[in-house]
Amino acid sequence: MYWLRRAWAELRDEVFVLPSRTLALVWALGLLLLPLVYDDPYVLRILTMTCLFAIFAASWDLLAGYTGQVNFGHALFFGAGAYTSALLSLRLGITPWITIWAGAAVALLFGYLAGYLCLRLRGSYLSLATLAFPLIALGLLFAFPEFSGGELGISGLRRLANGPTPNYYIAAVSMLAIVLGLWQLADSRFGIVLHAIRDDEVAARASGINTLRYKLAVFALSAAAAGFSGALFAHYLRVAGPSTLEVALSFQVVIWGIFGGVATIYGPVVAVFILYPLTEWLGSFRSFGELRLLIFAVIVLLVLLFMPRGLTPWLRDKLETACPRCKQRNRAWRSVCRLCGAPLSGADAKIKPA
Amino acid sequence: MLRILATLGALALASGVQAQTIKIAILGPMAFVQGENHWAGAEMARDEINKAGGVHVGGRRLQIELIRADTNESNSVPDATNAIERVITRDKADFLVGGFRSEAVLAMQEIAMDYKKLFLGAGAAHSKLGLNVEQNYERYKYWFRIAPTKDVDLVRTLFAVLGSIGQQIRTDLKTDTPKVAILAEKAIWTEALVAAVQKNLPAMKMEVVGTWQPSAKATDVTAELSAIERSGAHIVFTILSDVVGITVGRQMGERRMKAVAWGINVEGQKEEFWQATAGKAQYVSTLDTFAEVEMTPQTVAFVRAFKARYGKAPTYNAATYDAIMILKKAIEQAGTTEADKLIPVIEKMEYVGAAGTDTWDKRHDLVWAVGKTAGIAVQWQDGKKVPFWPPSVKGMQPFKMPHSN
Amino acid sequence: MLQDILVTGLVNSGVYALLAIGFSLIFGVARIVNIAHTAFYMLAAYCFYALLTKTGLGFALSGVIAVAAVTALSVVCYRLVIEPVREHESAVLIATIALALIFQELMLYSFGGNYLGIPSTLEGVVRVLGVSIPYQRLLILVVAAVMLAATWFFLYRTRLGLAIRATANDLEVANLMGMNVHRVAMASVAASVALAAVAGVVVAPVFVVDPFMWLAPLVTMLAIVVLGGLGSLKGSLIGALIIGYVEAITVFALPGGAYLKGAVALGIMVAVLLVRPEGLFGVAFEEER
């Protein structure tokens, strides 16, 4: 009984006070309850893919948004997870439930390696160097076709579960868990250090922070999450091919990340949930289905012109304002801050959120 | 009396409410030549069948309805799997035809088998698709390959033609062992073929002077061609499926090479090849499927009708025409559209189609036979694809060599 | 074989130099990583193809019109799409990616996904040092050299070039000195895309034209620019020579490994970055507020 009251108190005081958190709760519940009311396999398939790509996009944001290491080759980790899990489960016969973790582990190692190589690089140099990594990996894969399956990849993989609904739940639950975990991490002391590194690495080092360790850790963590989603992806499609490493996928996640809003974790998730089903839906129209990539690019461009910081910061600003005195966020239509009582509108409230 | 009438009326209503059409989904990369041909061949079949009244199914006549599904498989495998799931669950397709990129078709095959829908392939040559049928018949029996023959059978055709070209070289150039340079794109599908060629050529009294493997997307093969010229090869044995086929055709022509190109050159099968090589691809020869020759009594009529309707010649993907006709024949023979009942009918069928005379083995792959399913060989001469093999089929023309000019 | 490598490497480098120098110019002045740079190169190739086949204009006139049209388009795109989001670096980045995708899809829609061939401006081959080189490739080399010289002249001998170099050096001070920074940025965008367009017109007959032809040169060009140092024109030139020759050597020395040439070039770029994090001649940028 105590726990119920505690949960209700938490909900009332922490979640419902902010529209964005309420929306997030509604969305999470909606995702989990959807198959009970509507179990069209096609819709579940789209949503499963969306969840997997959402994990991928959120992991990119941790790396790019929080430490400023804009990774143009994030597909490397995705592909590493996919291929590792595929190879282990097909060649050695290990159950996919174990190999997906192995895929994440190998991706983590790749992340560490990539991070190490990029330690001394800054800005655009780092971005373009990371662009090269998956391409080099692709070259190596094609150099050993018996091992990697060449341009066909590895096919005939086992599913994690049978049927659209169980697979959907695996993807959705993984996504919610990982995104929540990443968000908690970004919101904690660890996240503050990351912000510091991005804004001024020299100052952070002068303050005694071992920035190298943090940068490597973020690379590894982000890679592990991406690798996990890659492994799930491979077992869902039952094929792990070179398409998991291609430049287009790396660019796609950059678009999702920036469109949704960097340094938010939930921003790219929102972006994936809007853009991926949208492009799929556009593709189902017979008349202009073949133009869907064009429409996608135009939408991205237009949204960017009006919301250059990304979609979710813009939305949040419409729904919430920050209190000028205590800096905590409030519902936009409130007149006084819920925590410190300072007036939110009028002449006194001038400070816009950062 | 009233009750009998009422029951009859109800029955009539019930059967009327049933589907009036047979829905066939055509899956292919619709923005590209392969998908265009998938769709074109299917349209020709649908119009022909519907105009003749439709398909006989146990006393009723049903029209064919086509569902166009752009798989975008050349760019994205998930797009293809999404598309096939959509046509099965949303559009309620009864049958699935098409496919092109092997990586995507392998993934699509899984979904089709999950839903136990007949999936007739009209583009991917990878053996694994048929191997699945042999290794797990109960699951994969719904897959049949209508075109092309599986990759290892392509080699047999290649050798057959190579033999006759080699013979022509022996007589023209008065040399005992013609020299062959292998030019195969670096890809997994060529590995087995390259090995087979290297092993068999000496037995055919031909010498392999070297193997060159450019990237499938190579836009410059100067290095390879220079080396091949230096080796003195008479024949360039091509195993190419992508852009590199165009590059090879164009640059060989620009260099006025004395060697002649024969082999698989998928780009060389397209009408646009001559334009894409800026008119330089004289003498390039390749395996192909459709030409105005009497492979079967239907071929010439089909090719002419296709050209009249679409303005260009069909590629092998237009075998969707044969696929739909095969479905019609099987449905009419079995009297039902149920997949499980159609499978044994198709397995035993011998179908004389536009592309060839088709029979299937236990992998649901085409049984290879010259003049029936082995296809034809064409050579580009003065802007046109001229068929020159097999000599047994009516309409063949002579093969020209660069040195004979 | 050595002569093959020497000649092919030179021709490759010429093409890459045209692309890389344009890219470096934009980055140096406007700090924009223009992912759509090679997409403009593709547009110029298509425009050239369309003019050649649909109208009766000759090679020279079609080429000039194609370059002019694409350059004009780039300035329009810059005004409409890039300038409004200039302050947000990440937004500029995906704006250029989106632009490139739009161009790709437009070309796919208008011309289809088939590979197109453009007739060569000059037919025939010539034998140099025992290597037969088509005249078209020599033309590429000549045009590349002329354009590079013209760029050097433009940047180091004209007032506008001086303004561009000043803006690249320090944007704020240049602004304070009275240079119209917007105009200078537009001029450098125009110059850089003009170089890419010339590359497209001259190179297209040698390669195949398809809506995805912008991806492969993009990666190689980025490797070159990073290798040479972002913002350094000298670095781009030298980087182009290095990568051009590395690719030629890979292809000639390893006949079975020709497909690796992209990976090798990128590997060299990564190796150089490990040793010199700003590229060979790059400048480490101070944090710009």
CATH of residue A196's domain is 1.10.3470
Residue C220 pLDDT class (50, 70, 90 cuts): confident
Q: How many CB atoms lie within 10 A of CB B242?
A: 18
Query: Would you say residue A307 lies in a domain?
Result: yes
Residue C259 pLDDT class (50, 70, 90 cuts): confident
Residue B11 pLDDT class (50, 70, 90 cuts): low
Looking at residue A346, its pLDDT comes to 59
Query: Would you say residue B163 lies in a domain?
Result: yes
Q: State which of A85-89, A195-199, B168-172 shows the largest mean pLDDT.
A: A85-89
pLDDT single digits (tens) B124-153: 888 888 999 999 999 999 999 998 888 888
DSSP letter at C81 equals I
pLDDT single digits (tens) B190-241: 888 888 888 888 888 888 988 888 888 787 788 788 888 888 889 999 999 8
Q: CA-CA distance, C266 to A137, in Å (whole number)? A: 11
Are A327 and A213 members of one domain? no
Sorted by sequence, the CB contacts under 8 Å of residue B384 that are 6+ apart come out as: none
Are A285 and A348 members of one domain? no
Please write down the HEC assignment for all residues of A132-186.
HHHHHHHHHHHHCHHHHCHHHCEECCCCCCCCHHHHHHHHHHHHHHHHHHHHHHH
Chain C residue at shortest CA distance from B30: C113
Both tokens of residue A319? 């729904």
Q: Is the pLDDT of residue C287 over 80?
A: no
Q: Is the pLDDT of residue A354 over 50?
A: yes
Looking at residue C286, its pLDDT comes to 46
Are B309 and B174 members of one domain? no
Domain containing A225: what range?
Answer: 19-319
Chain C residue at shortest CA distance from B224: C255
Mean pLDDT over the full length of chain A: 87
Q: Check: CB of residue A259 under 8 Å from CB of residue A275.
A: yes
In this prediction, residues B323-342 reach a mean pLDDT of: 92
Are A297 and A334 members of one domain? no
Domain total in chain B: 2
Looking at residue C69, its pLDDT comes to 95
Are A93 and A175 members of one domain? yes
In this prediction, residues C55-59 reach a mean pLDDT of: 82
- Within 8 A of B186 by CB-CB distance, chain C residues are 256, 258-259
A54 vs C216, more confident: A54
Query: Would you say residue A1 lies in a domain?
Result: no
Domain total in chain A: 2
Are B267 and B351 members of one domain? no
Query: Would you say residue B313 lies in a domain?
Result: yes
Are B175 and B92 members of one domain? no
- To test the contact with chain C by mutation, choose from B239, B243, B252, B254 the residue with the greatest count of C C-beta atoms within 10 A, namely B254
Looking at residue C288, its pLDDT comes to 42
Residue C43 pLDDT class (50, 70, 90 cuts): very high
Q: Check: CB of residue B189 under 8 Å from CB of residue B241.
A: yes
Domain containing B226: what range?
Answer: 152-288+375-404
C49 vs B173, more confident: C49
pLDDT single digits (tens) A23-63: 888 899 999 998 888 878 888 999 999 999 999 999 999 99
Q: Is the pLDDT of residue B15 over 80?
A: no
Do B30 and A142 lie within an 8 Å CB cutoff? no
Q: CA-CA distance, B212 to B182, in Å (whole number)? A: 6
C-alpha distance from C217 to closest chain A C-alpha (Å): 13
Q: For residue B377, list its beta bridge partners.
A: B287, B389
Are A135 and A102 members of one domain? yes
Q: Check: CB of residue C113 under 8 Å from CB of residue C52.
A: no
Q: CA-CA distance, B214 to B236, in Å (whole number)? A: 14
Are A225 and A175 members of one domain? yes
**Left, alpha or beta for B335 (phi > 0: left; psi -120 to 50: alpha)?**
left
Enter the pTM of the model. 0.85
Do C108 and B213 lie within an 8 Å CB cutoff? no
Looking at residue B44, its pLDDT comes to 94
Both tokens of residue B76? 């994205």
The beta strand positions in chain A, using DSSP E, are 154-155, 239-240, 320-322, 329-331
Q: List the single residue in B250, B272, B277 with the smallest CB-CB distance to C114.
A: B272
Q: List the single residue in A151, A153, A289 with the smallest CB-CB distance to B187.
A: A151
Looking at residue C284, its pLDDT comes to 55
- The number of residues in chain B equals 405
What are φ and ψ of residue B360, in 5° steps?
-120, 150
Chain A residue at shortest CA distance from C112: A290
Query: Would you say residue B370 lies in a domain?
Result: no
Both tokens of residue B326? 């095969």
Q: CA-CA distance, C252 to A212, in Å (whole number)? A: 41
Looking at residue B231, its pLDDT comes to 85
Q: Check: CB of residue B96 under 8 Å from CB of residue B73.
A: no
Q: How many CB atoms lie within 10 A of CB A121?
A: 21
Query: Would you say residue B191 lies in a domain?
Result: yes
Are B314 and B264 members of one domain? no
CA separation, residue C217 to residues B69, B244, C19, C213 (Å): 32, 16, 9, 8
Are B238 and B277 members of one domain? yes
Query: Would you say residue A11 lies in a domain?
Result: no
In this prediction, residues A226-249 reach a mean pLDDT of: 90
Query: Would you say residue B365 lies in a domain?
Result: no
Q: Is the pLDDT of residue A317 over 70?
A: yes
Residue B340 pLDDT class (50, 70, 90 cuts): very high
Are A338 and A310 members of one domain? no
Do B186 and C114 lie within an 8 Å CB cutoff? no
